[in-house]
Amino acid sequence: MNQTLLVELLTEELPPKALAKLGDAFAAGILNGLRARDFLDADAVASTYASPRRLAVTITQVRATSPDKSIREKVLPVGVALDAAGQPTAPLAKKLAALGFPDIGIDALERASDGKTESFFYTHTARGSALHNGLQAALGDAIAKLPIPKLMSYQRPDGSTVQFVRPVHKIVALHGNAIVPVAALGLAAGAQTLGHRFLTTGEISILSADGYAAALEAQGKVIADPAARKEKIRAALLDKAGDDRVLMPEALLDEVTALVEWPVIYECHFEPQFLSVPQECLILTMQTNQKYFALTDSHGKLRSRFLIVSNIETSDPQHIIGGNERVVRPRLADAKFFFEQDQKKKLEDYVPKLANVVYHNLLGSQLERSERVKKIASGIAAELNLNHIEVDISLVERAARLSKADLLTDMVGEFPELQGTMGRYYALNDNEHQDVAQAIEDHYRPRFAGDKLPASNIGLSVAIADKLETLVGIFSIGALPSGDKDPFALRRHALGIIRMLIERKLPLNIRKLIALSVPLLNDQEISRETREIRRGQWEESIKNKPGLSAYGDAHVIRNINPEHIEAIYPFILERLRSYLRDIDYSFTEIEAVIAQQPDTFDTIIERLEAVHAFAALPQAASLAAANKRITNILKKIDIAPGQVRHNLLCEAAEQALHAAMTALQPQVEHAFAAGDFTLTLTLLAALRDNVDAFFNTVMVMADDLQLRNNRIALLAALHTMMNRVADISKLAS
């Protein structure tokens, strides 16, 4: 009879950041283990339960016994099983005994080919297995494969040592209302569990697998379903916030959900004097250190009250509220102290000290890096100005110089997540230009997928420079990403550059920017200020160390592998492919655009839209196939095609094609120059009949060398016209 199965491990408090993965893996392990052993109907459904003190799963439509199976087994090749007289051999008898069928005669075996040689086969029925056997194996596998961050060893009362993520106290295994006799981690399964550690006492008997969640909630004050627990917390936070806005990032909600079994929301307060500190600092310390939920007014300004998620429900929560208020106060006081101390210095005062902060042992200090970023950003700003995008180069250089200064402040030392943010506050305090202050914060953007981009062209210049310097620098020393390993987040940096170039329509030549960045890695490019700091550091370090020379080649970054630098542009193109796939363009459309190895990305989307529209035209398939054919012909030509000579166009089809191209050329040029890529490609549809007629009637590789070269020149001109926007041959099937 098919019934619901329940399996629960009751544990000590599980690590909250790992709980979701542990719960999902445990449920999947049991489900897949039983499915592999044929204990589940096709419509079986698993429900995952995970709370601080338990991992559990219920699965519907679980069989008490797996079905019988017909098994066809190969026994032995006929040449081995029979002797020359056709009688059974000793190896055959031995093999049948090993398979568990010692009394089977030769006439019960099937004689057939195994694909290579004629062999004997035996078909028999394997009896189904009882659920406790299948569950025992599935449970053992599931436990062994859990993504446990760190195993803990502990002793059972009988003195045996067990290893698991946390000590396990009980195992529940029910099929319907019957206990399934399995064992694991030194425990035998039963039907009793425990509820909330503080709100209930005594064991709770689970009467049936279907009633597990309801019984725990009603009798045990435990919401076992993590999704239900999370949504209850979310709704309660919103209700308690009233007219204010509650800041509840999903990561914090997930972590708090993993910390409580019976969530209750309480309101706490802190002294308004702390609101003089930048609210990002207060919010971060509340969220990171205390797992509290900050509140803001409708305009986003932080309030002096906050919400906590407690695991205790009580009619008099004042001791809980007071305790949490006492805990957060020193944290806020520290933030206030750091902020006030940092403001006693100007950001500029921190800049020279960046020479003492190692960026990378092969790439120098943060000061040197800042100087490289400054020069790259200045070059970017100059390019933007040449393209009529106004950028104040002096402000760009100032922002780049100060961009890393806040790394040495006390606040960022305590809260590294605030780098850039605190730089903006301190720059404003120093009366720096507002655009400089904003660019200091923005140059880290976008920090993650979906993050907003820098607000100004100044910020964009420094942000692109910062990410490009990282790419070029790390590639230059050969620390390229491999597989899923990307310790320097180079993929994220490349994607950030791509987003800024595309979404802000910046006509910057990416190859030119890479070429601008590479020479800056040479020690000769650093400023006199940095050189003197380096010299002083080196000379101090070699005191009383005979044999070491004065400051010299030891500090020069050289031996850049050209192959590594050449790999940067393809690496960026690969990230571009990922970016475009995420906005739902097809593989062939993307390849049609990227095949041209674009130097600029500002018109990529328009080109893709044009390719998409062109591909829908009835003439597209024929023109794409013709373009592919032309591409293959041109690949075989050793010399550059010349100009088309009209007097050598002797066939009617080639004359007609040339005339159509000549008439269409001005329209195509005008549309392309205007950036109307869709019209540029659509105009080409008019050439289909002429192109088809050309290939149907004209021999391109004519014996007459002049005719051949002239036809190749005609095809080369057509190829250029057809591929101005994208390589449409990629659309050919």
Contact 422, 429 (CB under 8 A): no
Is 441 in contact with 327 (CB distance < 8 Å)?
no
H/E stretch holding 309: strand 302-310
User: CA-CA distance, 375 to 396, in Å (whole number)?
Assistant: 10
Instruction: Give the per-residue pLDDT at 120.
Output: 92
Q: Taking CA 353 as the corner, what is the angle to CA 350 and CA 355, rounded to the nearest 5 degrees?
A: 135
Please check whether the two domains, 348-522+557-569 and 603-731, share a CATH topology. no
* Beta bridge partner(s), residue 9: 55, 171
Structure tokens at 399: 């922002």
Amino acid present at 456: S
User: In terms of Cα–Cα distance, which of 282, 308, 306, 293 is closest to 415?
Assistant: 282
- pLDDT given for residue 324 in this prediction: 96
Is 674 exposed, middle or buried, given 0-12, 13-18 or 19+ CB atoms closer than 10 A?
exposed
Spatial distance between the Cα atoms of 349 and 342, rounded to a whole number of angstroms: 11
Alpha-carbon distance of 348 to 405, in angstroms, equals 7
Residue 687 tokens, joined:
């050439």
Distance CA 502, CA 486 (A): 24
Does the global pTM surpass 0.95?
no
The predicted pLDDT at position 34 comes to 96
- The amino acid that residue 127 corresponds to is R
Amino acid 529: pLDDT: 58
Cβ-proximal residues to 481 (8 Å cutoff; 6+ apart), any chain: 488, 490, 491, 571
Q: What is the CATH number of domain 603-731?
A: 1.10.730.10
Distance between CA atoms of 568 and 293, rounded to whole angstroms? 42
Cβ-contact 61, 28 below 8 angstroms: no
HSE-up (13 A, CA, CB side) for residue 400:
31
Using CA atoms in the order 344, 346, 351, 357, what is the torsion angle rounded to 10 degrees?
Answer: 30
Residue 639: predicted pLDDT: 77
For residue 26, the tally of other CB atoms under 10 A from its CB is: 26
Which ranges constitute the DSSP H helices of 162-278? 212-220, 226-241, 250-257
First to last CA, the chain: 53
Measured CA to CA in angstroms, residue 484 lies from 86, 344, 468, 686 at distances of 60, 44, 21, 47
d(CA 673, CA 233): 56
Query: Which among 268, 279, 411 is positioned nearest to 326, based on CA atoms?
Result: 268
484: Cβ–Cβ under 8 A, 6 or more apart, which residues? none
Cβ atoms 75, 108 nearer than 8 A: no
- A 10 A CB-CB count for 268 gives 22
What are the two backbone dihedrals, phi and then psi, of residue 144, each rounded to the nearest 5 degrees?
Answer: -65, -30
The answer to whether 569 and 512 have CB atoms below 8 angstroms apart is no
Q: Tell me the longest C-alpha to C-alpha distance in the chain.
A: 106
Burial category of 475 from C-beta neighbours within 10 Å (exposed 0-12, middle 13-18, buried 19 and up): buried
* Per-domain boundaries in the chain: 3-66+130-220, 69-126, 226-342, 348-522+557-569, 603-731
Q: Which residue is listed with tokens 């008439």?
A: 663
Residue 264's CB is within 10 A of a number of other CB atoms, namely 17
Residues 6+ apart with CB under 8 A from 495: 446, 449, 575, 578, 579
At 698 the three-state DSSP class reads: coil
> Please, what's the b/e burial string for 609-620 (b: 16 or more CB within 10 A of its CB; e: otherwise)?
ebbeebbeeebb
Query: Residue 11 has what DSSP assignment?
Result: E
Task: Please tell me the predicted confidence (pLDDT) of residue 552.
Answer: 41
The CATH T-level fold of domain 348-522+557-569 is Hypothetical protein af1432 (1.10.3210)
| CA 108 – CA 121 distance, rounded (Å) | 9
CA–centroid distance for 521 within its chain:
29
Residue 551: its pLDDT value, please? 39
Say if strands 168-175 and 3-11 run parallel, antiparallel, or are unpaired: antiparallel
pLDDT at 534: 53
CA distances from 384 to 389, 468, 501, 604 (A): 5, 16, 11, 18
Which token pair is 240? 């308690």
CA 73 to mean position of chain CA atoms: 46
Q: Which residues does the chain have with pLDDT short of 50? A: 524-525, 542, 546-558
Question: 3-class secondary structure for 98-166?
Answer: HHCCCCCCHHHCEEEECCCCEEEEEEEEECCCEHHHHHHHHHHHHHHCCCCCCCEEEECCCCCEEEECC
How far apart (Å, rounded) are the C-alpha atoms in residues 693 and 331? Answer: 80
Tell me what percent of the residues of the chain surpass a pLDDT of 90.
79
The reported pLDDT for the residue numbered 553 is 39
pLDDT tens, position by position, 451-469: 999 999 999 999 999 999 9
